[in-house]
């Protein structure tokens, strides 16, 4: 390891040196704890008695080799602090951990699994000119082993069920909420104790690798959630690791996050090395296809508050990490969950940006959902909530999210957010999703949304799959399947997502009708998208559609088979003169233009 680079925060491979590494005859353990008085290695291999670790290099690193130790054994570091206390810690660079409430690290051999996904890795792209339809899921609550919701499915069990489901439903990527080890189920993985440890809830490191490999062999990309901002306060983990604030700020004013966790101190080179090595670890060792980084607003601004100013050290860290990751993994996707107006989030670092590929469009999400919450009459007043997104859209490369954050904590599910009664919510939700999938930007939808889920997400329970026994939910699910597949098969909906030529308003000033019309384009295809978000039938007229001879309906959200009330012809028809159509209430339509 480049020790100088370690201290300066310039390396991405610290985990190849630190942690527990399996050799032919044993395991070599190393840890970094500059303020420790001494460190003892304890574990299965010595009946939890102490092996005194020796200091190496500049005395800030500790090492011990255990002959005969093997993969799967448990261990901890007993760190003797300057205040006289001895605290047992898991390994910050450990490749595995026990299931909570236990907290020992587990020896894992990262070379034990051989990937068979070379074809996928060679053809992988960042999807800028390709469809990107992401199914976001929480691994432990997609499905369960039994009706009592008491047992998680393993990585292998989920893989055999999930992959056919994704292919049938038209998703080409998944994004998994954090899989690093965490003690509290309710944190969903966002308050981590093991940044290099796949959670043992669902199996081992090898089993996770096998799951990702299987996804790739079925042409499904896999993104993981990564938290570079904060970590869990548990005493056995990173907090006060060597008896001092080694990873966190010593000052509680900036040391504690709004979630009650410890903020990483990004001005320290050792912390930068730890985080950027962890990001590389998931991309290289597990073949993840990208990383969604959580709470980037808390990287940009002190405590996520613009009034407190830019955290320049943290911003420099994220630039350096993103640039380094893109150099090593140019086709990996880096996306930012960021709700601020900080500029150039998705511009390359060399052009003054933060170096992300995509930014979640939180403005689009909030404006759209608020619009559909309102009574149809009030949508005339709020008409331009839906046109505003295109005023700023080309400032970043946006991804449109309807994520887990929108279906928890009293916010109601997507369908429940729709105005009106139970049956009246579904046509609005169908129109909303057609609007989402025709609007420029890549797509992300959280599990359960496609079922018309009515119960807020709960990490302790599986999705309500029994809803599909009810016709209104089964029809909604069928609609979502067809919409997903139409998106994947229609280049005009994705190829020019980030070119102004890819979108053109046809009508965006029909406030009294709550009608919108726009075109999506690419080099060889044009599609016309028309929406009526009012509760009345609206006649839409267009005197002329330039250079259009024929028109074909591709999808209508009001089709009978989806729970609508009408049958529609999907034949190509000649267009002569004026284009006139009667739009049913809460209806979206997409036409192929020729």
Residue 501 is a catalytic residue: no
Which residue is listed with tokens 């990702």?
Answer: 212
Average pLDDT for 335-364: 97
Tell me how far apart the alpha carbons of residues 78 and 64 are, in angstroms, rounded to a whole number: 13
Separation of alpha carbons 492 and 509, rounded Å: 24
Task: Name the pLDDT band for 146 (thresholds 50, 70, 90).
Answer: confident
Q: Give 523: exposed, middle or buried? Use CB within 10 Å, 0-12, 13-18, 19+.
A: exposed
Specify the pLDDT at position 392: 97
| Helix orientation angle between 155-169 and 205-217, rounded to the nearest 10 degrees | 20
User: What pLDDT band is residue 507 in, cutting at 50, 70 and 90?
Assistant: very high
Segment 436-448 mean pLDDT: 98
> Residue 298 above 80 pLDDT?
yes
Token output for 321 = 């990490």
- Token reading at 219: 């042409």
Q: For position 124, what pLDDT does the model report?
A: 98
* 21-44 pLDDT per residue, tens: 999 999 999 999 999 999 999 999
pLDDT in tens, 362-408: 999 999 999 999 999 999 999 999 999 999 999 999 999 999 999 99
Element spanning 65, H or E: strand 61-67
pLDDT on residue 572: 77
Q: Is 337 a catalytic residue?
A: yes
225, 294, 367, 382: the catalytic one is 294
Q: Please enumerate in sequence order all residues whose Cβ is within 8 A of that of 287, keeping only pairs 6 or more positions apart, or say none.
A: 115, 117, 121, 209, 212, 213, 216, 222
Burial group, residue 165, by CB count within 10 angstroms (0-12, 13-18, 19+) = middle
Biggest CA–CA distance in the chain, Å, is 88
For residue 565, name the pLDDT band (cuts at 50, 70, 90): confident
Q: Which of 213, 248, 337, 361 is catalytic?
A: 337
* pLDDT for residue 241: 98
| Euclidean distance between CA atoms 357 and 269, whole angstroms | 25
SS3 category, 58: coil
Distance of CA 540 to the CA centre of its chain: 38
Enter the pTM of the model.
Answer: 0.95
pLDDT band at 252 (very low <50, low <70, confident <90, very high): confident
Domains in the chain, ordered, with CATH? Answer: 3-106 (2.60.40.10), 501-593 (2.60.40.1180)
Residues 6+ apart with CB under 8 A from 316: none
Residue 380 confidence (pLDDT): 96
| 3-state helix, strand and coil shares in percent for the chain, rounded to the nearest 5 | 30, 25, 45
């Amino acid at each position: 390891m480049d020790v100088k680079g370690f201290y300066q925060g310039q390396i991405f491979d610290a985990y190849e040196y630190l942690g527990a590494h399996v050799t032919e005859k044993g395991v070599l353990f190393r840890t970094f704890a500059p303020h420790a008085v001494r460190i003892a290695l304890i574990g299965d291999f010595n009946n939890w008695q102490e092996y005194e670790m020796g200091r190496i290099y500049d005395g800030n690193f500790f090492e011990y080799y255990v002959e005969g130790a093997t993969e799967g054994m448990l261990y901890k570091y007993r760190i003797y602090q300057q205040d006289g206390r001895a605290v047992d810690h898991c390994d910050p660079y450990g490749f595995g951990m026990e299931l909570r409430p236990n907290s020992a690290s587990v020896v894992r051999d990262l070379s034990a699994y051989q990937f068979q996904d070379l074809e996928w890795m060679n053809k992988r792209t960042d999807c800028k000119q390709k469809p990107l339809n992401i199914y976001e899921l929480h691994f432990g609550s997609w499905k369960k082993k039994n009706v009592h919701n008491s047992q998680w499915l393993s990585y292998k069990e989920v893989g055999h069920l999930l992959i056919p489901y994704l292919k049938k439903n038209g998703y080409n990527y998944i994004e998994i909420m954090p899989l690093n080890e965490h003690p509290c189920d309710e944190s969903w993985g966002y308050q981590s104790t093991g940044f290099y440890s796949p959670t043992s809830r669902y199996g081992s490191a090898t089993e996770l690798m096998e799951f990702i490999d299987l996804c790739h062999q079925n042409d499904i990309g896999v993104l993981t959630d990564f938290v570079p901002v904060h970590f869990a306060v548990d005493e056995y983990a990173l907090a006060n690791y060597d008896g001092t604030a080694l990873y966190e700020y010593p000052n509680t004013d900036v040391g504690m996050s709004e979630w009650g966790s410890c903020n990483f101190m990004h001005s320290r080179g050792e912390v930068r090395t730890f985080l950027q090595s962890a990001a590389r670890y998931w991309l290289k060792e597990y073949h993840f296809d990208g990383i969604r980084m959580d709470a980037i607003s808390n990287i940009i601004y002190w405590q996520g508050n613009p009034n407190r100013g830019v955290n320049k050290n943290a911003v420099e860290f994220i630039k350096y990490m993103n640039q380094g990751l893109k150099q090593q993994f140019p086709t990996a996707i880096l996306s930012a969950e960021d709700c601020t107006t900080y500029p150039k989030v998705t511009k390359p670092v060399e052009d003054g940006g933060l170096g992300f590929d995509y930014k979640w469009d939180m403005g689009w999400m909030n404006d759209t959902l608020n619009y559909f919450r309102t009574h149809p009459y009030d949508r005339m007043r709020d008409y331009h909530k839906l046109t505003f997104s295109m005023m700023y859209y080309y400032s970043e490369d946006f991804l449109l999210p309807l994520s887990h954050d929108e279906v928890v904590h009293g916010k109601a599910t997507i369908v429940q957010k729709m105005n009106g009664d139970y049956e009246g919510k579904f046509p609005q939700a169908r129109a909303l999703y057609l609007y989402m999938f025709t609007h420029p930007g890549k797509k992300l939808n959280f599990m359960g949304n496609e079922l018309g889920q009515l119960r807020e997400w709960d990490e302790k329970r599986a999705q309500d799959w029994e809803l599909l026994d009810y016709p209104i939910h089964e029809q909604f699910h069928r609609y979502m399947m067809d919409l997903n597949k139409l998106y994947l098969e229609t280049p005009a909906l994705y190829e020019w997502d980030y070119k102004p030529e890819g979108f053109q308003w046809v009508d965006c000033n029909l406030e009294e009708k709550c009608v919108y019309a726009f075109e999506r384009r690419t080099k060889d295809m044009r599609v016309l998208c028309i929406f009526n978000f009012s509760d009345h039938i609206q006649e839409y007229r267009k005197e002329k559609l330039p250079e259009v001879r024929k028109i074909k309906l591709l999808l209508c959200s009001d089709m009978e088979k989806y729970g609508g009330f009408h049958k529609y012809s999907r034949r190509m028809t000649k267009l002569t003169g004026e284009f006139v159509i009667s739009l049913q209430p809460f209806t979206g339509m997409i036409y192929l233009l020729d």
